[in-house]
Amino acid sequence: MENNSAEINRTRNKIIKEVQQSNALAFQPEILGSSISESFDVLGRAFEGTAQKFAKAQLALKNGSSKDAKADSKIVSQLQNAPKKAISFMENLVGELSTVEDRNFDINNNAEYSILNAMITKKPGFSPKQGFALDMNLNEDGTQELIANGPGLREGGLKINSGTLESLTEAGQSIVAQTPEIEKDMESLLAESQLFDVSMVGKDGKLTGDTSINEEFILKGPEGKPVYEEIELGEGKARNVLQYDEEKLAAKLKPFIDAEIAGIIEMGEEGVIAAWNTVILPNATQSDEMETSKTISAGDDSWLYERDLPLSPDKKELFAEKYKQHFLRDYLYKFTKNQLPTIEEDREIFNIKVDMKNDAKLNTLLKKYGL
């Protein structure tokens, strides 16, 4: 049941995201015929009649005709601050919901927030004419409650209280998990790892175009000469490429990678889940997503926010392991694979030497043809 509801949630997010990125709505006559500027008028309806209520209470306090001065004072105080608080509430909420429009948004987030964002930002297909409604209640405790109703939203409506939202944001928490910029983090990690000469790091903190790993990490023999790997080029030709001391590389990188992982976890475990679902497990970099515009997801293997928070030690350990694998394979590998020797004469292409006496394959062919 949980897996089914999680898949329904992912599908809703995926559809909302991909439809808004396409021109699909332009081909829907019922949408095209509606006014895109049609407003829910949330604040207007929330404060309807409050001006009279405020004026009546304030007048009663001034002329001494108030039957309940404490109650009237409370009304004046609440309504005096309510408009400013309501605007601040909506600004905070819009800021929180904007995450759903991020390129690397994790579709395992609650799809109701994607719907609410589409309603508030007046996206086509999410107006009152399509069955959506947005209301705000002014509570006696001075907080406001936003209630969203419509297709895809829970029975009774999605309710968000301004005081609760403010408390969450002040504590550094979010209602929508933001995916860490793993690509940028890993590029910075490469530059900071001390595997490369400082001259190869630009002012922006990124590696420059013509970059190679420092010579101290090149695998060398007892005499201090590089130990090459021969790669065949075809037609009996080959060339030397460098090999690297993997133990040295791992030892140098470990403290940098461990610090990066610890930083991601410290920023919030919800970000760890988002990174796991969109980057680490699907084995796709964020640049791949940018190029293909596909929605990246771990599917049924996703970690779920409601189920998996707080993260268990096993999950943190697994995240760290896969993060390292992703970094080594997709970021470091390109600097260690097929790198040409630093010694000029060792760069030349050469003919493959054939050991006729010990080459089993060659001897088999010679016997076959009686040579």
Q: pLDDT tens-digit profile of 272-331? A: 999 999 999 886 444 444 444 566 777 889 999 999 999 999 999 999 999 999 999 999
Lowest-pLDDT range of 63-72, 175-184, 303-312: 63-72
Q: pLDDT digits over 88-130, tens only?
A: 888 899 999 999 999 999 999 999 999 999 999 988 889 898 9
- Is a pLDDT exceeding 80 seen at residue 144? yes
Note the pLDDT of residue 43. 73
Most confident of 195-199, 239-243, 355-359: 239-243
Cβ–Cβ < 8 Å for 239, 350: yes
What separation, in Å, do the N-terminal and C-terminal C-alpha atoms of the chain show? Answer: 71
Task: List b or e across 27-63, with b for residues whose CB sees 16 or more CB atoms inside 10 angstroms.
Answer: eeeebeebeeeeebebbeebbeeeeeebeebbebeee
C-alpha dist (Å) from residue 328 to 142, 181, 234, 236: 53, 17, 29, 32
Give the per-residue pLDDT at 31: 40
Mean pLDDT of the chain: 83
The DSSP string of 165-219 is HHHHHHTT--SSPPPP-HHHHHHHHHHHSSSS-GGGB-TTSSB-SS----GGGB-
- Please tell me the distance from the alpha carbon of residue 45 to that of residue 156, in angstroms, as a whole number: 19
C-alpha to C-alpha distance for 192 and 255, rounded to whole angstroms:
11
Residue 72 token pair? 């009237």
CA count, 13 A, side-chain hemisphere, 192: 14
Percent with pLDDT over 90 in the chain: 51
268 contacts: CB under 8 Å, gap ≥ 6: 172, 173, 174, 177
SS3 140: coil
- What pLDDT is stored for residue 318 in this prediction? 96
d(CA 261, CA 275): 11
Examine residue 310 and say whether the peptide bond preceding it is cis (omega within 30 degrees of 0). Answer: yes
Q: In this predicted structure, what is the pLDDT of residue 287?
A: 45
List of residues 6+ apart from 220 with CB closer than 8 A: 226, 227
* pTM beyond cutoff 0.85: no
Q: How far apart are CA 299 and CA 290, in angstroms?
A: 19
CA dihedral 7, 12, 16, 21 (to 10 degrees): 20
The per-residue pLDDT for 292 is 46
The pLDDT value recorded for residue 72 is 60
For the stretch 24-38, pLDDT in tens is 444 444 444 444 445
- If you average pLDDT over residues 40-67, what whole number do you get? 67
